[in-house]
Amino acid sequence: MSARKIDDAPAPAEAKNPIQVIERMMKLLDTLAEHADPVPLKLLALETGLHPSTAHRILGAMTQSGFVDRSDPGVYRLGIRLLELGSLVKSRISLRETAMPAMLKLHAATGESVNLGIRAGDEIVYVERTSSGRSSVRVVHIVGARAPLHTTATGKLFLVEDGIDKVRDYARRTGLPPSTPESLTTMPALEKELDKVRRHAVAFDLDEVEAGVRCIAAGIRDDSGELIAGLSLSTPSERFNPDWAPLVRETANEISRSLGYIAK
């Protein structure tokens, strides 16, 4: 790794420039984050371009506040305070508030209703929705509405996540009751459908919850990679456009990234 230009030794006036100090703190934190193991001061100075005495003084202040730990003399790593703050940020992230800007953008792009659904046992519960206002057709995906996993696009995402054994348990437990004549009510039909969902990372409901209403859904994951919700676009059947699937999937991915998910 080539050395960056080393800053001159700190002048007395440096302490009077808090913005510069903050920038140097961020340089040090970013560099520490790039290393899995504790980093010696000499290497930190080299990779940040800071004078060793400047790096040492700033690291000392960050060590006192818990942002950096000194594992051995002259060797540093990220501190526990960052974990505490990260946990606090995570606890304050609201799925609905985080999802809504992306939902509104998808609504503007398509003119159709966009829904946010979460799992509650053997059902999907819709917790947020943007209404299209373009049709008198009643869509079941209103806030607070519930629908079975096997009939909904979002529910199929969760069934794929469960794996085949749990899906069979679900089928035995519920009996796969139909909501419309188009609902999937047998295990072979459901397994075939879930295989498509697994391969394409997007699910469809084709008049399966409500006659005359179709839906496309993609999964939303949190920072741990867990599937926590589904984003779905619902339309009257006559306006249904399967070509919207990539847009729905990318919107769901955008929400996942906002929640801290990093695709592997």
Q: What is the pLDDT of residues 2-19, one digit of tens each?
A: 444 445 444 444 445 788
Show me where the domains of the chain are located.
18-78, 89-259
Q: Are 48 and 6 in contact (CB under 8 A)?
A: no
**pLDDT tens readout for residues 227-255:** 999 999 999 999 999 999 999 999 999 99
**pLDDT tens readout for residues 250-259:** 999 999 999 9
What predicted TM-score, i.e. pTM, was given to this entire model?
0.69
**pLDDT tens readout for residues 60-118:** 999 999 999 998 888 999 999 888 887 777 666 689 889 999 999 999 999 999 999 99
Span 89-259: which CATH code? 3.30.450.40
Which helix (H) or strand (E) segment holds residue 70: the answer is strand 68-72
Mean pLDDT for the chain overall = 88
**pLDDT tens readout for residues 135-150:** 444 444 567 788 999 9
State the Cα–Cα distance between residues 161 and 163, nearest whole angstrom.
6
Q: Which residues contact 251 (CB under 8 A, 6 or more apart)?
A: 102, 103, 105, 106, 218, 231
pLDDT of 142? 65
- Top CATH class, 18-78: mainly alpha
Question: Distances from the Cα of 231 to the Cαs of 11, 12, 22, 27, 98, in angstroms?
Answer: 55, 55, 39, 37, 12
